[in-house]
Amino acid sequence: MQLYVRKLSQIVFGSKSERFIPHPAQLSLDISAATAAPSCAVMDAQKVAYTRTAGKPKKQRVLSELNAYLDALPQVYETLEPAVVPPGAVKIGEDRMRTLEVDPGKLFVRVTIMPRYKLPAEDDTITTIIAAPAPERPLPRGMVGASVLAQILVDKFCDHLPIFRQVKRFERNGVVLPYNTILDWAGKTIDLMEVLYGALKKEILATQYIHVDETGLKVLCSKENRKNRNIHDGYLWCYHNSIKGLVFFDYQHGRGEKCTEGILRLFQGIIQTDGWQVYEKVAAKQKDITQICCLAHARRKFQEAREYDHALADYALTQFQAIYEIEQHCRDQGLSFKEITRIRQEKTVPILQALYAWMMKQYKTLLPSAPLTIAINYSLERWDRLCAFAGNGMLSPDNNAVERSIRPVALGRKNFLFAGSQKGAHHIAMIYSLLGTCKLHHINPYHWLKDVIGRINAHPVNRITELLPHNWQPASL
């Protein structure tokens, strides 16, 4: 009970970090023979060494980076002359002082003038008038431009700024815009992205490897009956491809099997998930899907069991750390999938084999209700699926990539609390999918939205994939 109280206190008040620093004497644990780990020199043999070159001190490095940023920004010059310059004074040089300034966002009105011309005609009965075609508005009969629409969406879904806070900011800039007007603009703009959302779904389901996870989203229901508005616990299901950098959110009413098999029935390949039983059932129904599990979730069980038995839990955590050091080495070297597979077979597989033997031995000696037994049982039940990554360099050992994509949703929930309707929840899924893909490709979401909102109405439907973030080229190019 004390363990559960500490765990609850950690969830409510503590840090979420799972960082593990092994004890210097970890490799020679002083454990009794009844619970001794199998003797092996895996950690010594598989230790990955890194050579670090001496660099600039942190303060100098930060200053040099800041100066590089300042050089890239637009420069505004002003000259300060002395109050009195005597006759005959000769300029011998100058001093320069650079100061970083900001000009708060200002609204302006773009007035597009389209002159009309009357052409001379030989026949007086026919008059020909020409004029440039009017530019198409992003929203029909809407007076708002693409830049404002893009800023509203970026503020809400990237910076987690609810609409009512944006209204206050517009007021500080001298413009009073009704709350419902801005909300309507945001909804209609996301509707423009419906065709992009469908194209993104097709692309991610055409891949052979995706991460899958889900997160809660409260939705306000019973809009027609304003006296009895209920809150529904909906879910955003996230499908992430870490190879091509694609992320797709799908809103569903629940967390059951039927909520994901509608999407996954169109997929053929490998899905990487946590231990939620729904994914196992879906993979069992569909022969074209292979499910593998997340090594980070297995490691987390041992992290939670440290309060019960530090020595044994630290041994397991040390083995997991050795595996991740090998993965970090592969990333630093930029190795190909084939080379990663070879290194995993040479270095990771022996660690996994030793860890499995240790778990089997400890499982027979520990109490069934002990937290460490629960951690070991979680891993042993999924062992083949946990180790599947070792045989394919394309696969990741964990599901952290999709969890990073879900993080903005959690931040948004703390600010706008819930979706106003089922349609609003679908809008949230759409915009998080597109902006999440922008983030994975290091694209400024404001620049992408501003360009795409202004072009999408006139863009050919059969070439709509050109506007997806990972295929996008600005109109100026």
pLDDT digits (tens, 9 = 90+) for 446-469: 999 999 999 999 899 999 999 999
* Phi–psi pair at 440, nearest 5 degrees: -65, -25
pLDDT tens for each residue of 116-146:
988 887 777 777 888 898 888 899 888 899 9
48 pLDDT higher than 70: no
pLDDT tens for each residue of 208-254:
999 999 999 999 876 555 555 688 889 999 999 999 999 999 999 99
Q: What is the pLDDT of residue 421?
A: 87
High-pLDDT (> 70) share of the chain, % = 88
Mean pLDDT of 255-275: 91
Provide DSSP, 56-125. --HHHHHHHHHHHHHHHS---------S---TT---------------------------EEEEP-SSTT
The amino acid present at 134, given as its one-letter code, is A
The pair of three-digit structure tokens given for residue 349, joined into one six-digit string? 């597989």
pTM for this model (two decimals): 0.82
pLDDT tens for each residue of 273-292:
998 889 999 998 888 999 99
Q: What is the pLDDT of residue 45?
A: 40
Calpha distance 110→87 (Å, rounded): 48
In DSSP terms, 2 is beta-bridged to: none
The amino acid present at 254, given as its one-letter code, is G
For CA atoms 172, 428, 241, 274, give the dihedral sign. positive
- Return the higher-pLDDT residue of 72 and 430: 430
Mean pLDDT of 355-362: 94
**384: exposed, middle or buried (C-beta count within 10 Å: 0-12, 13-18, 19+)?**
exposed
Closest CA to 44 of 359, 328, 331, 318: 318
* Phi–psi pair at 215, nearest 5 degrees: -145, 150
**Do 46 and 335 touch, CB atoms closer than 8 A?**
no
Mean pLDDT of 151-157: 94
The pair of three-digit structure tokens given for residue 264, joined into one six-digit string? 């996954």
Q: What is the pLDDT of residue 416?
A: 84
User: Which of 64-68, 109-113, 220-224, 453-457 bottoms out in mean pLDDT, i.e. has the lowest?
Assistant: 220-224
DSSP label at 390? G
Domains located in the chain, CATH noted: 193-293+400-444 (3.30.420.10), 295-398 (no CATH)
Average model confidence (pLDDT) for the chain? 86
28 pLDDT higher than 60: no
Q: What is the pLDDT of residue 306?
A: 86
Q: What is the pLDDT of residue 72?
A: 82
Calpha distance 223→306 (Å, rounded): 48
Provide DSSP, 417-444. -SBSSHHHHHHHHHHHHHHHHHHHTT--
CA geometry: angle at 246 spanning 241 and 252, to 5°? Answer: 85
